[in-house]
């Protein structure tokens, strides 16, 4: 590849439309990688919180002490801790009421935990729609830049007396760069989206299992 056909040269000499397409794709890629690193760190932290909490929850200690430790901590409860705090708080409140059946107390705690669980999953799903959009649309945006560049290359041949490969090669090359950038933006976004979706689904199953297990404990306590 000569200097005249270097990637930087092709980008700087591309038409305005193709450069605009490249710029949009590069910005989408940068934002995607920002979300990817942030979401990876968030999910890793979420799993660690769940591991630590479940180890303490099933250690056989007093749940009221666990509740006090979490709520009195300077840092705010996160992930599975928030679900536990919401359920225990609601059960304690309803348990103190007179005339409320044991079943209603447990059902009330379950509903509150399900609401908190849904909120947690919604929070974890943030930025995933953007990654899905980048992954699904970037190749087509890049293809648009490619089509536009190739179209301009062939239009330039209309005024040429003799068409040669050297005349159309730069235009086609710059057009293909747009496709390459589109794939560069799309592939990491798709891989990250699938990976994060799987990890969030696993966390969701883990949270739902905890809610069911905690409800069993509350059921025993309510009828004791």
Helix axes 102-124, 16-57, angle to 10 degrees: 150
Residue 177 confidence (pLDDT): 85
Distance CA 190, CA 198 (A): 12
For residue 217, CA distances in Å to 220, 221, 222 come to 5, 6, 9
Element (H, E) at 68: helix 63-72
Tokens of 142: 């890049």
Element (H, E) at 3: none
Residue 166 confidence (pLDDT): 61
Tokens of 199: 């990890």
The total number of residues written for the chain in this structure = 224
In this prediction the pTM is 0.83
Distance CA 129, CA 142 (A): 20
Distance CA 62, CA 3 (A): 72
Non-local CB neighbours of 2 within 8 Å, separated by 6+ positions = none
Residue 149 confidence (pLDDT): 81
Query: Domains of the chain: which residue ranges?
Result: 3-222
Residue 161 confidence (pLDDT): 60
Matching residue, tokens 């699904």: 136
Q: Tell me the average confidence (pLDDT) per consecutive run of 10 residues in the chain, 224 residues long.
A: 58 79 92 95 94 90 87 80 93 80 89 95 92 94 87 70 62 81 94 96 95 91 75
């Amino acid at each position: 590849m000569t200097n005249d056909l270097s990637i930087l040269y092709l980008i700087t000499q591309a038409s305005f439309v193709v450069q605009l397409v490249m710029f949009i794709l590069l910005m989408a890629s940068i934002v995607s990688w920002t979300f990817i690193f942030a979401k990876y760190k968030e999910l890793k932290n979420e799993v660690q919180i769940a591991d630590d909490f479940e180890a303490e929850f099933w250690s056989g200690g007093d749940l009221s002490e666990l509740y006090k430790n979490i709520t009195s901590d300077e840092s705010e409860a996160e992930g599975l801790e928030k679900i536990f705090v919401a359920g225990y708080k609601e059960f304690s409140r309803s348990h103190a009421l007179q005339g409320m059946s044991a079943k209603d107390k447990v059902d009330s705690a379950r509903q509150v935990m399900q609401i908190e669980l849904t909120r947690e999953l919604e929070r974890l799903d943030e930025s995933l729609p953007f990654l899905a959009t980048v992954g699904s649309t970037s190749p087509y945006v890049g293809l648009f830049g490619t089509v536009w560049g190739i179209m301009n290359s062939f239009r330039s041949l209309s005024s040429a007396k003799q068409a040669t490969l050297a005349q159309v090669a730069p235009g086609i090359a710059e057009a293909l760069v747009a496709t390459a950038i589109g794939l560069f933006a799309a592939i990491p976004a798709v891989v990250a989206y699938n990976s994060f979706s799987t990890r969030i689904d696993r966390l969701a199953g883990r949270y739902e299992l905890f809610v069911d297990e905690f409800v069993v404990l509350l059921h025993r306590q309510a009828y004791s």
